[in-house]
């Protein structure tokens, strides 16, 4: 579900396959390699490690639940914990492309979909905690709340935008949608902005804006980097025309 910018995937899949003129070049050309596979067979263990590590927030909630450490208000603890981890995974997912470009470490792309799906997973847990344990499936009450409280309205919008990204994350969907897939997955930028607004509004009422400011700065940096790259590419393109 990760936001793929430009032609990242195409470029990295075909990289390292240039023609050679020595004797070895007489051999048939190797098939294009997936990004990251050139480093050997470490990618699968690394993916398993990331998968397990990303379960930490859930394991923590379960462990605290069994050991009676969820505090005086367990619903609030779970809602806040899952909300914050949703935002963390959105930021990590958005950081993949800048990190890849800045370090040249293409293998990072292999982790992006999993990280994006974890953002959706924790977002779904966050929303489920709200409509199950906070609102007890009272649809009328939920609709009223979404309409009445702006911080809930934008949180809901942020989560709704994540749904099509999760649904279209399988490789078959990437192939089927083609360029439209990239356009669709840019919705993660709107999700990130709405998530910050949600967090900001929620904490503004409590006069505690330290964390929203930190995450806001991270999201501005991650989105600002993309705008800067886009502007630079346009200037270069104009200069060539
Ligand atoms: C991408 C989607 C979302 C993200 C990233 C997100 C993120 C967050 C964050 C960071 C917090 C504050 C955690 C803290 O206090 O440390 C929070 C709290 C909360 N969110 Fe969300 N949220 C999302 C969607 C939603 C949705 C869809 C709802 C419900 C319709 C919702 C309802 C709440 C509630 C009720 C709280 C706790 C308010 C309180 O304890 O006073 N959020 N969310």
Domain ranges of the chain: 42-233
> What is the C-alpha separation between 154 and 192, in angstroms, rounded?
11
Cα-to-centroid distance, 239 and ligand 1 (Å):
45
Res 241: pLDDT: 86
Q: What's the pLDDT tens digit per position in 3-50?
A: 443 334 333 333 333 333 333 334 444 445 555 445 568 999 999 999
Tally helices (H) and strands (E) across the chain.
Answer: 11, 0
CA count, 13 A, side-chain hemisphere, 106: 17
| Cβ–ligand 1 contact at 187 (below 6 Å) | no
Cα-to-centroid distance, 209 and ligand 1 (Å):
15
Q: Which atom of ligand 1 is nearest to the CA of 87?
A: 5
Contacts of 118 (CB under 8 A, 6+ apart): 54, 89
Cβ atoms 35, 203 nearer than 8 A? no
Q: Which of the listed residues 60, 134, 202, 216 should we mutate to test ligand 1's pocket, taking the one with most ligand atoms within 8 A of CB?
A: 202
Q: Is the dihedral of CA 219, 52, 168, 32 positive or negative?
A: positive
Q: What is the mean pLDDT of the chain?
A: 88
pLDDT tier at 214, thresholds 50, 70, 90? very high
Res 100: pLDDT: 97
| Cβ–ligand 1 contact at 162 (below 6 Å) | yes
Contacts of 65 (CB under 8 A, 6+ apart): 74
- The fraction of the chain above a pLDDT of 70, given in percent, is 83
Q: What's the pLDDT tens digit per position in 148-202?
A: 999 999 999 999 999 999 999 999 999 999 999 999 999 999 999 999 999 999 9
């Amino acid at each position: 579900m990760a936001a793929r910018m430009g032609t990242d995937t195409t470029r990295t899949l075909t990289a390292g396959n240039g023609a050679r003129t020595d004797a070895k070049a007489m051999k048939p050309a190797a098939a294009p390699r997936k990004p990251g596979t050139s480093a050997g067979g470490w990618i699968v263990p690394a993916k398993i490690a990331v998968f397990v590590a990303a379960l930490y927030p859930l394991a923590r909630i379960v462990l605290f639940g069994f050991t009676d450490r969820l505090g005086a208000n367990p619903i609030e603890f779970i809602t806040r914990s899952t909300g914050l981890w949703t935002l963390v995974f959105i930021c990590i997912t958005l950081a993949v492309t800048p990190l890849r470009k800045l370090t040249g470490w293409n293998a990072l792309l292999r982790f992006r979909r999993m990280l994006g799906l974890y953002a959706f997973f924790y977002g779904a847990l966050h929303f489920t905690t709200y409509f199950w344990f906070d609102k007890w499936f009272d649809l009328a009450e939920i609709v009223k709340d979404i309409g009445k409280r702006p911080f809930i309205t934008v949180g809901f919008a942020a989560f709704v935008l994540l749904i099509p990204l999760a649904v279209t994350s399988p490789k078959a969907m990437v192939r089927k949608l083609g360029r439209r897939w990239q356009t669709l997955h840019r919705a993660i930028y709107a999700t990130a902005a709405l998530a910050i607004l949600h967090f900001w509004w929620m904490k503004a009422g409590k006069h505690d804006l330290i964390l929203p400011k930190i995450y806001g700065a991270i999201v501005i940096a991650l989105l600002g980097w993309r705008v800067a790259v886009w502007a630079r590419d346009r200037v270069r393109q104009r200069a060539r025309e």
